[in-house]
């Protein structure tokens, strides 16, 4: 089992105090994770010693930078169990999902087709499809979420017809915390010839991912949620689908030949790298992947499970707290969100913050799901490798202050 | 922001006047025959309010509002509804954040909570 106390030594920001003398209790890792010193060093080291544009300058720095970039891409692809030419670097999950729309969906889905989503999707896995559907007139359907916060597989079976050309689904819900059965969804989808696109933003930081055994067609992730820097992420795509994809960002670096009239594109992966890439962040993300690999993703997942189980147990004893999503820890990953009777989530978060406890409050970019369940807003505590059970204890203690403040009048 | 400023801002936020209005909001509900109804959302919070007005001869004769929001947006809506009842539409439209601060008795607000306080002001800006 990994030792979070030891891991915390690698994260300088966790030594911070806030509001005078209160130690920072960071429970907002699902929004963005903190970064280990190794990642920070890798970025500074790149800019300090190797900075040059990639694939362009024929000089020492150009060679070093290109080599570092290529090797970082390889490391990231390998982390997800994918081949290097199956990885398209993007800024984040949102850009990865949009890339599927512009590079594949535009040329493969027609008016009479249907795209299937789920009711628990993040806005970034709803809006791109919704915009496409409005542009082209194709249909959008949503797989139901059951009252206990799980995907309704019967509803999936019912809706997975030959009209479905693509299913886009979160691996782990950022609000319900529930893990969706991707392999079951893929099996069903492939029998009707539909592609499966997975939003891996909340699973990649916590679960061992093997893109090939997961068997989905595309998997999008954000580097900044998995100990890497902001501004870098990726879309892993199966070769068959990749071969059917057109570039969607046109410009320098991604071309083979340009005349005033015509352009031919570079080979993979360069044809999806329009313009100068964020090399430093790519190197930073590769370092984060190495850091996680060293800890062992099985161990990381086990640690998360322990925290989820502990949080469910402790939070369910707090007066006024109503946990959303399944109550069985084994069905969940990464976070526990809740409503607090009589107090809005923003007020809960503000008071928790005054005790040094950082959580997320609001609708977490799942407005339709909040509307469906009648939650105005929820408060979410989320975890990463450096999170301890003491952090959860601090949350529970700080929740007592919410009651105190709101019982004054 | 240093911690002293922060603690002041924090205790300002949950002072009695705000908690009182948040828990006992004034003019809460819907008018029977409103002349104007305006809805506003705080996209990042999920806060949702609806004001109904009875406006005659350019005067806000009656006002009611309903919605679900945090203590800050609820108190702000409540205080503002009291403030503009019986006043002219121009007065309501020209209310500033500074004047709302003065009514509540705070000197500033944390940047992340500004939009909560401003939500009812955005409603007033949409008045004809």
* Domain range summary for chain B, segments of one domain joined by +: 3-125
Does residue A269 have a cis peptide bond before it, meaning omega lies within 30 degrees of 0?
Answer: yes
> Which residues, in sequence order, are CB contacts of A143 under 8 Å at separation 6+?
A116, A117, A118, A119, A151, A152, A155, A156, A159, A169
For domain B3-125, which architecture applies? Answer: Alpha-Beta Complex (3.90)
Domain A4-31+297-401 has CATH 3.40.1180.10: no
A350 touches B: beta carbon within 8 Å:
yes
Q: What span, in angstroms and rounded, lies between the C-alpha atoms of A274 and A326?
A: 42
Q: Give pLDDT, residue A269.
A: 84
**Nearest 5°: CA angle at A182, between A313 and A203?**
50
Cβ-count burial of A111 within 10 angstroms (0-12 exposed, 13-18 middle, 19+ buried)?
exposed
Residue from B44, B45, B46 to probe the interface with A (highest A Cβ count within 10 Å): B46
Task: Spell out which residues of chain B touch residue A346, defining contact as CB-CB under 8 Å.
Answer: 45, 70, 72, 113, 116
Q: What span, in angstroms and rounded, lies between the C-alpha atoms of A174 and A30?
A: 7
Q: What span, in angstroms and rounded, lies between the C-alpha atoms of B35 and B26?
A: 20
Integer Rg of chain A from CA: 22
Name the residue of chain A whose CA is nearest to B19's CA: A409
Q: Characterize the bridge pairing of strands A164-170 and A17-18.
A: unpaired
Domain residue spans of chain A? 4-31+297-401, 40-294
Residue pair A136/A385 in contact by the 8 Å Cβ criterion? no
Task: Spell out which residues of chain A touch residue B20, defining contact as CB-CB under 8 Å.
Answer: 409
Which is nearest to B16 in space by CA: B97, B84, B82, B79?
A: B79
Beta carbons of A19 and B69 less than 8 Å apart: no
End-to-end CA distance of chain B: 39
Residue pair A178/A332 in contact by the 8 Å Cβ criterion? yes
Residue pair A310/A392 in contact by the 8 Å Cβ criterion? yes
> Tokens at residue A104, please?
């594949």
Per-residue tens of pLDDT for chain A, all 409 residues: 899 999 999 999 999 999 999 999 999 999 999 999 999 999 999 999 999 999 877 899 999 999 999 999 999 999 999 999 999 999 999 999 999 999 999 999 999 999 999 999 999 999 999 999 999 999 999 999 999 999 999 999 999 999 999 999 999 999 999 999 999 999 999 999 999 999 999 999 999 999 999 999 999 999 999 999 999 999 999 999 999 999 999 998 898 899 999 999 988 888 998 999 999 999 999 999 999 999 999 999 999 999 999 999 999 999 999 999 999 999 999 999 999 999 999 999 999 999 999 999 999 999 999 999 999 899 999 999 999 999 999 999 999 999 998 886 5
Residue with tokens 């997800």: A80
A357 touches B: beta carbon within 8 Å:
no
Beta carbons of B19 and A344 less than 8 Å apart: no
The strand pairing partners of B54, in sequence order, are B62
Name the residue of chain A whose CA is nearest to B115's CA: A346
Beta carbons of B3 and A19 less than 8 Å apart: yes
Beta carbons of B70 and A408 less than 8 Å apart: no
Residue from A21, A339, A346 to probe the interface with B (highest B Cβ count within 10 Å): A346
Beta carbons of B19 and A363 less than 8 Å apart: no
> Which residues, in sequence order, are CB contacts of B82 under 8 Å at separation 6+?
B26, B27
CATH of A40-294, one of 3.40.640.10, 3.60.10.10, 1.10.760.10, 3.60.15.10: 3.40.640.10
CA B87 to chain centre: 15
Name the residue of chain B whose CA is nearest to A376's CA: B46
Stated length of chain A:
409
Beta carbons of B72 and A377 less than 8 Å apart: no
Q: Name all contacts of B32-36 with Cβ < 8 Å and 24+ positions apart.
A: B34/B64, B36/B127, B36/B128
Q: Give pLDDT, residue B7.
A: 55
> Which residues, in sequence order, are CB contacts of B19 under 8 Å at separation 6+?
A405, A406, A408, A409, B71, B75
Alpha helices in A19-170 (DSSP H): 37-45, 60-79, 93-100, 106-108, 127-136, 153-159
Told to judge if A365 belongs to the known catalytic residues of this protein, a careful annotator would answer: yes
Q: What is the mean pLDDT of residues B86-90?
A: 96
Beta carbons of A354 and B68 less than 8 Å apart: no
pLDDT band at B1 (very low <50, low <70, confident <90, very high): very low
Nearest C-alpha of chain B: how many angstroms from A376? Answer: 6
Residue pair B53/B63 in contact by the 8 Å Cβ criterion? yes
Q: Give pLDDT, residue B10.
A: 64
A16 touches B: beta carbon within 8 Å:
no
Q: What span, in angstroms and rounded, lies between the C-alpha atoms of A45 and A49?
A: 6
Which letter does DSSP use for residue A408 in this model? -
A302 touches B: beta carbon within 8 Å:
no
Residue pair A34/A4 in contact by the 8 Å Cβ criterion? no
Task: Spell out which residues of chain A touch residue B48, defining contact as CB-CB under 8 Å.
Answer: 376
Residue from A22, A122, A345, A350 to probe the interface with B (highest B Cβ count within 10 Å): A350
Using DSSP's 3-state secondary structure scheme, residue A298 falls into helix
Q: Give pLDDT, residue B2.
A: 42
Q: Which of B46, B68, B70 sits opposite A363 (nearest CB)?
A: B46
Residue pair A140/A127 in contact by the 8 Å Cβ criterion? no
Q: What span, in angstroms and rounded, lies between the C-alpha atoms of B120 and A292?
A: 47
Q: What span, in angstroms and rounded, lies between the C-alpha atoms of A171 and A178?
A: 8
Q: How many CB atoms lie within 10 A of CB B67?
A: 22
Name the residue of chain B whose CA is nearest to A20's CA: B3
Question: How many A/B residue pairs have CB atoms within 8 Å?
Answer: 63
Q: Give pLDDT, residue A306.
A: 98
């Amino acid at each position: 089992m990994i030792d979070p106390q030891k891991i915390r030594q690698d994260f300088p920001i966790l030594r911070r105090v806030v509001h005078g003398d209160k130690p920072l209790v960071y429970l907002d890792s699902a929004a963005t994770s903190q970064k280990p010193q190794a990642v920070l060093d890798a970025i500074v080291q790149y800019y300090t010693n190797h900075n040059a544009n990639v694939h362009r300058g024929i000089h020492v720095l150009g060679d070093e930078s290109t080599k570092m970039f290529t090797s970082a891409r390889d490391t990231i692809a390998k982390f997800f169990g994918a081949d290097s030419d199956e990885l398209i670097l993007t800024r984040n999950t949102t850009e990865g999902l949009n890339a599927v729309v512009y590079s594949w969906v535009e040329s493969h889905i027609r008016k009479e087709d249907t795209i299937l989503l789920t009711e628990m999707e993040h806005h970034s896995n709803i809006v791109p499809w919704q915009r496409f559907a409005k542009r082209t007139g194709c249909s959008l359907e949503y797989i139901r979420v059951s009252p206990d916060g799980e995907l309704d597989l019967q509803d999936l079976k019912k809706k997975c017809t030959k009209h479905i050309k693509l299913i886009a689904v979160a691996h782990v819900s950022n609000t319900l915390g529930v893990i969706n059965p991707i392999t079951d969804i893929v099996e069903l989808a492939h029998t009707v010839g539909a592609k499966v696109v997975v939003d891996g933003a909340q699973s990649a930081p916590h679960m061992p991912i093997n893109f090939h055994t997961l068997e989905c067609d595309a998997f999008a992730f954000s580097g900044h949620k998995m100990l890497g820097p902001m501004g870098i992420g990726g879309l892993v795509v199966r070769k068959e689908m990749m071969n059917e994809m057109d570039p969607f960002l046109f410009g320098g670096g991604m071309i083979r030949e340009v005349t005033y009239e015509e352009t031919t594109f570079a080979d993979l992966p360069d044809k999806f790298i329009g313009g100068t890439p964020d090399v430093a962040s790519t190197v930073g993300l590769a370092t984060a992947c190495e850091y996680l690999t060293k800890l062992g993703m099985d161990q990381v997942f086990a640690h998360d499970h322990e925290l989820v189980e502990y949080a469910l147990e402790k939070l369910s004893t707090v007066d006024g707290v109503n946990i959303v999503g399944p109550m069985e820890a084994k069905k969940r990953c990464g976070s526990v969100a809740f409503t607090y009777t009589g107090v809005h989530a923003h007020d809960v978060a503000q008071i928790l913050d005054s005790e040094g406890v950082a959580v997320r409050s609001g609708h977490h970019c799942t407005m339709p799901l909040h509307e469906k369940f009648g939650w105005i807003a929820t408060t979410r505590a989320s975890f990463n490798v450096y999170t301890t059970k003491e952090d959860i204890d601090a949350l529970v203690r700080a929740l007592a202050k919410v009651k105190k403040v709101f019982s004054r009048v | 922001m240093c911690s002293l400023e922060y603690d002041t801002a924090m205790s300002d936020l949950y002072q009695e006047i705000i908690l009182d209005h948040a828990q006992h909001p004034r003019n809460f509900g819907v008018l029977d025959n409103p002349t104007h109804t305006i809805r506003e959302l705080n996209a990042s919070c999920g806060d949702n309010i609806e004001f109904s007005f009875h406006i005659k001869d350019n005067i806000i004769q009656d006002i009611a509002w309903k919605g679900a929001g945090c203590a800050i947006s609820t108190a702000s809506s409540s205080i503002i509804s009291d403030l503009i009842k019986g006043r002219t539409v121009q007065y309501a439209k020209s209310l500033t954040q500074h004047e709302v601060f003065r009514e509540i008795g705070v000197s500033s607000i944390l940047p992340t909570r500004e939009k909560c306080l401003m939500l009812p002001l955005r409603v007033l800006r949409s008045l004809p």
